[in-house]
Amino acid sequence: MSARLGFVHRFIPSSGDSASHVLLVLHGTGGDEQDLIPIGQELSPGAAILSPRGKVLERGMPRFFRRLAEGVFDVDDLKFRAHELAQFTQEAKAEYGLEGPVVAVGYSNGANIAASLMLLHPHAIAGAVLFRAMVPFVPDNPPDLTGTAVLLAAARRDQIVPASQTAKLSQILEDTGASVSHYWHQGGHELGQDDIEAARQWLAEQIGTASAL
């Protein structure tokens, strides 16, 4: 664990032949830099992993940006934190000698900051797995995300993220030129093993084709 580069974070170097990409794993509310590392390792065994801890505290729980109420984001803070995360990602690649493309893997609050990262810094990441993401904001000047691959993993019984939010986020990303895939978990906001397996297969397909990754 390190507090360098502006974020408390963990870095796990690649092993074996899995140096082709880097996973930027982004936890949900109340998580930390440890939470999604096992999922990252399951999604892409041997890949390098960057796992920062969100710097905003909500009743003592780490988050990546402030919110005014559940589902109501402090957009100014969100954009500021996305800029910080983009800088961290760039500096971490240089610090750790990482040359492969970065794929974000975010859950809930982490998925929302990952979506913001794509919309504000289109070259920061090459793709993203977004578990239970909402629309972070509607961009005034949509970026060109042609060649960026995104998996939206939503849930049929999610009491936090309604299906309309998934559809709206999908449309925003498709309008920027991103290639958007979908997976629907049959349960609620929590992650299921089926989510992880769907994301693992999607990521393997992206790495094995002439896609953004």
Q: Which residues are annotated as catalytic?
A: 108, 158, 189
CB burial of 57-90 (b: ≥16 within 10 Å; e: otherwise) equals eeeeebbbbbbeeeeebebebbbebbebbbebbe
Listed in order, strand segments (DSSP E) in 108-167 are: 127-131, 149-155
Contact 61, 78 (CB under 8 A): no
Give the residue carrying structure tokens 């090459």: 126
Q: Which residues pair with 58 in a beta bridge?
A: 61
Q: What angle do CA 108, 109, 114 make, to 5 degrees?
A: 95
Q: Using CA atoms, how far apart are residues 161 and 132, in angstroms rounded to an integer?
A: 7
Phi, then psi, of 128 in degrees rounded to 5 = -155, 145
Q: From CA 19, how far away is CA 15, in angstroms rounded?
A: 7
CA separation for the pair 28, 175 (Å, rounded) = 26
Q: Which two tokens stand for residue 2?
A: 């390190």
